[in-house]
Chain A
């Protein structure tokens, strides 16, 4: 399992356009990929391949989000996703 935290630097935060791209990116990997927010009152997790759950994370610009992947290509997956989220 690989895990990393990033601050959302994407202008829109994770909104429709960005979320759609994120799903497309995540779908290229075999690992399971989870985004999570530990700053919220209640810990929130989202499946990176589910646009609905990503949107529900409601992670705007400047929010800190964790990316966790588990699988054969977990390192690459976490790197790519983090790079995208940093903007």
Chain B
């Protein structure tokens, strides 16, 4: 058995999946190049047209199905594919080559697409370069249909599979959706790729851009952690147990959770806990509401903001945010303004965790910030909206942000635009400075959110993307418990609501600690939603309060963790 190996990538679709790797190889095309006799040309063109027609038919079927599943977001991908199949630059050029050079269709397709691939590779725009994948997808389809063999499909797999490849085309993922594909992991790609969009629509956990996956072979046991953005190869018994325990079998619980959508998040001793959903992409709102989430507690807007191209305009942002609010069907949505430089991946590849990020970025790039704020305000007529400012580290920052908020509202007034002027404004507590001074900020805000991921990193001086210290990251560290206790004590007299939205809220034992410390509002990713609801319904608040006062006196993280686990998993 191989040793456990953690492979780092980027989250493309939330959720956790455990299964055996199935590698998708680039299909082997027998690239036979033939010179035709002039009298064979007409038949060859015919053969090519048939392949185009067949491909079009397949795509239309996919589209009908996508629309039926109301995954309208991804049906536009198919539109683009269909348009390529009627593109003169592509189709006519291929036919022309066959006719004038007397070569077979495969050869002509290869020549024409090679030219186009080169042209795409020269583009400097990352988003457009990604579109090379779409063309690649179509070329494969055409070549397959020419060979009149069925598209490569897996026989019904006898086990849960994780699709692994350099790049898995969106259509492949879609066509395999009825197979036991529980997760996706790719060596290249970004959360902006169409495959990632498709994975989110199909609710398949996915991690992309994990280069080291090249070492994974079919049959390897994998865990795709679409919450932390890692793939674990050959996990140890211990790791596996931890994941299984956490999710007890992700797929089934997801279905079961659907059935218990209506079950309220109330503890055994009838304490009501507010449980919201964290989302990264607008597509996730629909599934959040379907799964019974009562609010979108954290919408990390930077992913959609920088999704296609660098500079979204106000009108499209208003349209996007309005759609989000409408999809939420009356559930409040907390828009966290763009936090550039979040997590290990920053936009220019520099670790900016101690630099210009969050509100600091917004204050330095006021035009972007104002545009986003105007858009959120203008969309606010469509449903309850909240604005959350990330990475605030002083009252000065907060005052500066307020000055901009005032200016934005004045501008909207002078433009006679309708909006909800009472949109609550909140602050993310994720820096030690904010944790120490949250009470000083209280009179200036309507609510608080506690971002534990960053808070823990800054408190314990651990960069989680650094393998050599990652294991020291521990929410049960007495420093963290004291900090949380302090925040709660400082904020309690102010009466301002506070929601915890970091990963600490997404793992049942640490979430239970939060409840015990007095935090009764949590927001977690969709993947974690069912397990946290289950935990809430199985614990007693009185007992957790007792637990909290006990662990606050303990000296070592390990000690705390054991005590907590014993209490939460007592049954």
Contacts and interface: CB of A to CB of B under 8 A. Distances in A.
6 contacts: A11-B316, A12-B308, A15-B309, A20-B83, A50-B87, A61-B311
List the 4 shortest-distance A-B pairs measured between CB atoms, nearest first: A11-B316, A11-B312, A50-B89, A51-B83
A54 to B, nearest CB: 9
> Which interface residue of A49, A53, A55, A87 has the most chain B CB atoms within 10 A?
A55
Contacts of A49: 87-88
Nearest to B76: A17
Nearest to A87: B313
A55 B128 contact: yes
Contacts of B399: none
Interface string A44-57: 00010111110110
Interface string B67-96: 000000000110110011001111000000
B124 interface: yes
Contacts of A20: 76, 79-80, 83
Interface stretch (B5-13, B115-123, B340-348, B478-486): B115-123
Contacts of A15: 127-128, 131, 308-309
B196 to A, nearest CB: 14
Interface residues of B, number: 30
B253 to A, nearest CB: 35
> Which interface residue of B76, B84, B135, B309 has the most chain A CB atoms within 10 A?
B309
B124 A58 contact: yes
B134 interface: yes
A20 B63 CA distance: 15
Interface in A1-54: 9-13, 15-17, 19-20, 23, 47, 49-53
B92 to A, nearest CB: 9
A62 interface: yes
A66 interface: no
A56 B123 contact: yes
Given A52-B116, A58-B128, A60-B309, A11 B87 contact: no
Contacts of A17: 76, 80, 308
Contacts of A12: 308-309, 312, 316
A47 B88 contact: yes
B310 interface: yes
Interface string A61-84: 110000000000000000000000
B123 A51 contact: no
B121 to A, nearest CB: 11
B80 A16 contact: yes
B131 A62 contact: no
Contacts of B249: none
Nearest to B312: A11
Contacts of B316: 10-12, 87
A55 B119 CA distance: 10
Contacts, number: 81
Given A58-B123, A58-B128, A52 B309 contact: no
B125 interface: yes
A65 B131 CA distance: 21
Contacts of A56: 116, 119-120, 123
B442 to A, nearest CB: 36
A55 B116 CA distance: 11
A49 B90 CA distance: 12
A61 B309 contact: yes
A53 B309 contact: no
B189 to A, nearest CB: 15
Nearest to A12: B308
B311 A51 contact: no
A52 B120 CA distance: 9
B87 A51 contact: yes
A23 B128 contact: no
A58 to B, nearest CB: 5
A12 B160 CA distance: 38
B313 A11 contact: yes
A11 B309 contact: yes
Interface string B43-85: 0000000000000000000000000000000001101100110
Contacts of A55: 120, 128, 131
B310 A51 contact: no
A15 B124 CA distance: 13
B308 A10 contact: no
> Which interface residue of B77, B79, B310 has the most chain A CB atoms within 10 A?
B79
B124 to A, nearest CB: 7
A15 B129 CA distance: 11
Given A50-B90, A60-B311, 11 more contacts: A11-B308, A12-B308, A13-B309, A16-B77, A52-B84, A53-B87, A58-B128, A61-B310, A61-B311, A61-B312, A62-B311
B224 interface: no
Given A9-B313, A58-B124, A87-B315, A53 B83 contact: no
B317 interface: yes
Interface in B301-315: 308-313, 315
A2 B117 CA distance: 32
Contacts of A51: 80, 83-84, 87
A52 B89 contact: yes
Nearest to A60: B309
Interface string B13-24: 000000000000
A16 B308 CA distance: 9
Contacts of B90: 50, 52
Contacts of A9: 313
Contacts of A62: 311
Contacts of B134: 16
A47 B92 CA distance: 13
A73 to B, nearest CB: 19
A75 B90 CA distance: 28
Contacts of A47: 88-89
Nearest to B83: A51
